[in-house]
Amino acid sequence: MRRLLAGILMLVLSTVSAVASESDGLILHRSIQNFPEAMLALQTSIGEHGYTVSRVQRVDIGLTKSGYKTDKYRIVFFGKSSEIRAVKQSQPQLIPYLPLKVVIFSENNETLLVASNMTQFSELVNNEYTKTLLQRWNNDIQSIFSEIK
């Protein structure tokens, strides 16, 4: 089941990395909070950082239908609409990676949060403004994760 979840994470986050570490394209955070508390903390922190949660998608329905026992697996989509719109217009090659996403799921007695390291996409862009924006997004994701204890 863990491999299936990792595969889904990789697909959802649109990365080519096979290991969940920042140097490989993913940011991973473990929290001892239970899933509902971590989910609330995540959405609150996203808002406090000036972003808007645009959608929360359940992934567990498909897993349950496949016979896996999980009911705590979500993807939280968020961003600042003006920034997302500007990047989509000026750098259309980044569209598959937008809006920003965090995968949150429960495993044993922990809640895990995973997001793409946005700086990995800097090599795809041709202007400093977007590279700086990607770095800020990455810093904000790390800050959001650090607030979820």
DSSP assignment of 54-105:
EEEEE-HHHHHHTT-----EEEEEEE-HHHHHHHHHH-GGGGGG-SEEEEEE
84-117 pLDDT tens trace: 999 999 999 999 999 999 999 988 888 999 999 9
pLDDT band at 11 (very low <50, low <70, confident <90, very high): very low
High-pLDDT (> 90) share of the chain, %:
68
For residue 47, what are the CA distances in angstroms to 20, 59, 78?
25, 22, 9
Domain of 10: which CATH number?
Answer: 3.30.310.70
Report the domain count for the chain: 1
Q: How far is CA 124 from the centre of its chain?
A: 19
Strand partners, 101: 77
pTM of this prediction exceeds 0.95: no
Print the domain residue range for 84. Answer: 2-146
* C-alpha atoms less than 13 angstroms from C-alpha of 92 in its C-beta half-sphere: 1
Q: What is the pLDDT of residue 20?
A: 42
Q: What is the pLDDT of residue 17?
A: 32
Q: What is the pLDDT of residue 104?
A: 96
- Mean pLDDT across 5-33: 60
